Amino acid sequence: MRHLESISNKNFYQIPMEFNKYTKRNLLKYAMGANLYMNALMDLYNKTITVRLKDICTITICFEDAIKESEVGRGERNVLEFLDKIYDELISGKTDENSIPLIFIRVRNPSQFISFTSKLSKNQLGLIAGFTFPKFNKENATIYLEHLEKVNKKFHEKIYGMPILESEEIIYKENRMLETIYLKDLLAKYKDFILNIRVGGTDFSSIFGLRRKVSSSVYDINVVNDCLTDIINIFGRSKDGYVISAPVWEYFSSDINSNEVKGLIREIELDKENGFCGKTIIHPTQGIYVDIMHAVEFEEYIDAKNILKSAESGGVFKGYNGNKMNEILPHYNWAKEICNRGKIFGVLNKDISFDKLFLEMGAIK
């Protein structure tokens, strides 16, 4: 599996690397890219393997908001059958590993997480990259993390957890600092099992009866932006090494010139500027835009490489295009992030920009 396979290699100075669930965590944590949420009741095999979701390397199968509580049992059986079918076709050679996206399961609550994992065989679990934990808070966090550790030890598999910060305890200002600091301290004890921190912009907005328009971004909703800023402040410090994924963009279209797509691209740019990497998506057409925007442009890559090369000497030097100051120590953490992202999403050639790629895809200037 690798990102941006539909983009010609001629556009890349450095082609995106291949990865799978066993790729080292320090690189895999950047690789979520466009993470497509899928209803657990869908025809999952035909949607993901037979048709092969174009430009989608990560899926999350949802047992929570996407289905009714009365449908959870049917959803679980559907997912177990899906995993069995993939395993059988892998063994028979009808499907290869590169056709299988990273598979995550969004559980409904801690009890369903425990119950569902008790139904998984080792073969089924081997196909799962991890679990996402909705409305992760002080009340449920220890249960989720302790059981995640048990699953890893029981099956001798690498199974990751991705907590989702989206509850009232996080967005309400009077609770926020105590809650986020508690969760950060707890997660530190299980850090090897944590692949991503995720945030729920739609849930945060819902608490206040708000919803952004297609002409605005999540950062224009001040009460939500205030919370996202604090989450980045607590979890986004370079020394801690967490990757935080951006909230979903609720609008989609197959027309690259639509307001829905323009809004998505604009919000991804803001996501990156604010310290997020990757984005939850709710429609396959959103995937290519998320992943293109996470590729690294040539100029920033060369600057980043030169900063890392000069790390021991320190100092200041002129940037690649003679248009900026590169200060080695203050820009060192940025440079590491850029180079890691370049490995996963690729580095564009000198004469290739995001706008040029979008023009080739049919965008109008």
pLDDT (tens digit, 9 = 90+) per residue, 15-37? 999 999 999 999 999 999 999 99
Q: CA torsion sign, 250 to 255 to 258 to 261?
A: positive
Q: Does residue 13 carry a pLDDT above 80?
A: yes
3-state helix, strand, coil in the chain (%, to 5): 50, 15, 35
Has residue 67 got a pLDDT over 90?
Answer: no
> Considering only 99-103, 159-163, 318-322, 339-343, which range has the smallest mean pLDDT?
318-322
Residue 68's SS3 state is coil
- What's the whole-number average pLDDT of the chain? 94
Q: Would you state the pLDDT for residue 233?
A: 97
Alpha carbon distance 6, 18 (integer Å)? 14
342/294 Cα distance (integer angstroms): 8
Decide if 300 contacts 14 (C-beta within 8 A).
no
- Picking from 92, 167, 164, 102, the residue whose alpha carbon sits closest to that of residue 133 is 164
In the chain, % of residues over pLDDT 70: 99
Question: What are the sequence ranges of the domains in the chain?
Answer: 17-294, 295-365
CB of 120 within 8 A of CB of 152? Answer: no
Residue 141, pLDDT score: 98
Q: Name the residue with tokens 């895999």.
A: 28
> Among 89-98, 158-167, 272-281, 342-351, which stretch is predicted with the lowest mean pLDDT?
89-98
What single letter denotes the amino acid at residue 303?
Answer: D
The pairing of strands 130-133 and 347-348 is unpaired
Work out the angle between the directed axes of helices 298-309 and 328-345 (0-180°, nearest 10): 130
For residue 58, what is the enclosing H or E element? Answer: strand 58-62
pLDDT per residue as tens digits for the range 253-288: 999 999 999 999 999 999 999 999 999 999 999 999
Burial of 13 (0-12, 13-18, 19+ CB in 10 A): middle
Give the pLDDT score at 316: 78
Which pLDDT does position 30 carry in this prediction?
A: 97
Fold of 17-294: TIM Barrel (3.20.20)
Is the pLDDT at 323 greater than 90? The verdict is no
pLDDT above 90 coverage of the chain, percent: 85
Closest CA to 133 of 153, 161, 160: 161
Question: Can you tell me the mean pLDDT for 185-214?
Answer: 95
Supply the pLDDT for residue 52: 65
Mean pLDDT for the stretch of residues 310-333:
82
